[in-house]
């Protein structure tokens, strides 16, 4: 058992941020499922307790559990729900990291979830269509966060092609557009809240990529919060950079350095010509040493 836990820790530490988020989501699913099964065995309601971690559509319920705006994005309704979200997170997370940083992925996952959750609550409290369901609707799942990552990658590299089974290569812009259109078409379906949350995540992904092009990182504040929490709830001052001392005769020093480099290069070229013409055995001990030292640079 200790070896298994140690392997999990090592896998988590060695993995990139995309894999670490998958570890967290799977771990949360396993723990919450085991707790629910245990409670069900003693007739304590099973999965009902999870509502304290899910995001309610009603404002009064949300005010009683504001943490659910974050916790909901790490919960899943079942194994298939978890599987599909984690597959998309893995595929597009790896692709996202080809164009952005790990900090961006971490920040956008949270930003997409926050945006999706807030749009979900807003829609259920604004549109009359949802008024009969507002007090009995709860949101969970990482879909909004994942779609934020998909859309951000598509905005960054719209012509990049990804391969799908039975379909072939499809440009990223069409993948993202298809996902958004499908969510728009099913806003009034049985899972309308989930589709609305997806659209909020997509909006966050678009804002992130579009703003980053202009030099503004909208995930910066989220990563700053993570840095503060990991640093013991304290802002760490950035270390002062050592002052550069200007030395007299800088140009002369540069000239000498370049001259030495040129001389060394010419010497290596001479040794290589000798090696080509007469073989390795013809080189002197000093020439062999210089050639060996040059090969390590």
In what helix (H) or strand (E) does residue 26 lie, and over which residues does it extend?
Answer: helix 17-41
Shared domain check, 226 and 85:
yes
Q: Mean pLDDT for the chain?
A: 86
| pLDDT cut 90: percent of the chain above it | 64
196 within some domain: yes
pLDDT at 58 over 90: yes
pLDDT exceeds 90 at position 99 = yes
What is the average pLDDT across 22-46?
Answer: 92
CB 79 within 8 A of CB 26: no
**Three-state SS for 14?**
helix
- How big is the chain by its Cα radius of gyration, in Å? 28
Mean pLDDT, to the nearest integer, of 15-35? 95
Q: Residues 160, 273: one domain?
A: no
- Domain annotation covers residue 101: yes
**Of 178, 197, 230, which one is at a domain's C-terminal end?**
230
0.85 exceeded by the pTM? no
- Give the pair of three-digit tokens for residue 82: 């978890």
φ, ψ dihedrals at 139, nearest 5°:
-115, 140
Rounded average pLDDT over 268-296: 70
Helix H or strand E encompassing 139: strand 138-139
Q: Residue length, the chain?
A: 297
* Residues 180 and 202 sit within 8 Å (Cβ to Cβ): yes
pLDDT tens across 132-145, in order?
A: 999 999 999 999 99
In-domain check, residue 162: yes
Residue 148 shares a structural domain with residue 217: yes
Same domain, 76 and 160: yes
Domain total for the chain? 2
Q: Which of 181, 200, 230 is the last residue of a domain?
A: 230
Residues 214 and 264 occupy one common structural domain: no
Regarding whether 269 and 195 lie in a shared domain, the answer is no
Residues 210, 70, single domain; the answer is: yes
Same domain, residue pair 79 and 175: yes
Could you tell me which residues come within 8 angstroms of residue 84 by beta carbon, excluding any fewer than 6 positions away?
none
Residues 255 and 162 in one domain: no
When comparing pLDDT for 285 and 50, which is higher? 50
Q: Are residues 152 and 263 in the same domain?
A: no
Q: Which of 145, 153, 180 shows the shortest CA–CA distance to 161? A: 153
DSSP state of 242: P
**3-class secondary structure, 99:** coil
27 or 272, which is more confident = 27
Within a domain: 117: yes
142 and 269 share one domain? no
Kindly report, residue by residue over 170-196, the tens digit of the pLDDT. 999 999 999 999 999 999 998 999 999
Among 29, 126, 170, 155, smallest CA distance to 86 is for 29
φ, ψ at 164 (rounded to 5°): -120, 140
- How would residue 295 be classed by pLDDT, with cut points 50, 70 and 90? low
Residue 188 belongs to a domain with what CATH number? 1.20.1540
Structural domain of 108:
53-230
156/210 same-domain check: yes
């Amino acid at each position: 058992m200790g070896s298994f836990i140690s392997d999990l820790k090592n896998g988590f530490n060695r993995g990139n941020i995309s894999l670490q988020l998958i570890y967290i989501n799977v771990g949360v699913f396993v723990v919450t499922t085991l707790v629910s099964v245990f409670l069900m065995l003693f007739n304590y309601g099973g999965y009902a307790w999870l509502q304290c971690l899910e995001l309610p559509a009603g404002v009064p319920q949300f005010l009683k559990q504001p943490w659910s705006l974050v916790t909901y994005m790490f919960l899943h309704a079942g194994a298939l729900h978890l599987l599909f979200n984690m597959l998309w997170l893995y595929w597009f997370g790896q692709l996202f990291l080809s164009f952005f940083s790990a900090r961006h992925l971490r920040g956008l996952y949270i930003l997409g979830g926050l945006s999706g959750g807030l749009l979900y609550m807003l829609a259920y409290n604004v549109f009359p269509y949802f008024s009969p369901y507002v007090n009995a609707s709860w949101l969970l799942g990482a879909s909004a966060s994942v779609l934020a990552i998909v859309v951000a990658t598509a905005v960054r590299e719209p012509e990049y092609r990804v391969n799908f089974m039975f379909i072939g290569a499809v440009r990223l812009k069409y993948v993202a557009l298809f996902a958004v259109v499908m969510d728009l078409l099913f806003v009034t379906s049985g899972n309308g809240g989930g589709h609305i949350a997806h659209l909020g995540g997509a909006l966050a992904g678009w804002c992130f990529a579009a703003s980053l092009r202009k030099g503004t990182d909208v995930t910066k504040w989220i990563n700053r919060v993570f840095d503060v929490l990991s640093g013991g709830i304290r802002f760490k001052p950035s270390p002062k950079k050592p002052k550069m001392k200007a030395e007299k005769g800088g140009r002369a020093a540069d000239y000498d350095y370049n001259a030495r480099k040129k001389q060394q290069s010419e010497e290596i070229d001479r040794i290589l010509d000798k090696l080509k013409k007469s073989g390795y055995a013809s080189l002197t001990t000093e020439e062999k040493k210089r050639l060996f030292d040059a090969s390590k640079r």
